[in-house]
Amino acid sequence: ENGLGQLVAGFAAGALTGSIFMAVAGARGHPGRMSLFGVLGWYICLAIFIQFETKNAGFVTLMIMGVSHSLGMISMSVLLLDATESRYRGRVMGVRMLAVYGLPIGLMASGVLIEWIGFKATASIYITTGIVLTLFIAYRWRTAFWR
């Protein structure tokens, strides 16, 4: 489908833009805060995205979402690597990559949930859960985020 490809390209273009921004200006910011705001921005963009019916509005939202994704994920990787001794960095990043293996199981569960309660309701549950857990993390490690 041409429209789906364009939406994916919008997210990818935003992610590339965010990556370039992080490469140029990444050392100036606080990676903890950048990661927090990137993840929250991603969830907010997702909440906006599920409301749209047109491809063009979705495209713009996905571009912004891609930027947020890059800011959040690159900052998180910087935090992990910075907080880890050099001899353990490969192991830490390997364990982080193992978390991706759970995605197919979650996607299958999402499919069932979408059939039961619908796409917007399922996405809303995931968005709410993600924001609540992100805010809990921000509260739990607030001194690290704001120093």
Taking only the tens place, the pLDDT of each residue in 109-119 is: 999 999 999 99
* Whether the predicted pLDDT of 125 surpasses 90: yes
Taking only the tens place, the pLDDT of each residue in 19-62 is: 999 888 865 678 888 899 999 999 999 999 999 989 999 999 99
Q: Which residue has the higher pLDDT, 8 or 29?
A: 8
CA distances from 28 to 23, 40, 74, 117, 142 (A): 11, 20, 14, 44, 20
Q: Which domain holds residue 48?
A: 2-146
- The angle, 0 to 180 degrees and rounded to 10, between the axes of the packed helices 119-140 and 31-49 is 160
Taking only the tens place, the pLDDT of each residue in 127-142 is: 999 999 999 999 998 8
Q: What confidence score (pLDDT) does residue 6 get?
A: 94
Give how many domains the chain has, as a whole number. Answer: 1
Q: Which residue has the higher pLDDT, 2 or 59?
A: 59
CA dist 101 and 115 (Å) reads: 23
Taking only the tens place, the pLDDT of each residue in 62-83 is: 999 999 999 999 988 888 888 8
| Residue (of 111, 37, 101, 96) closest to 69 by Cα position | 37
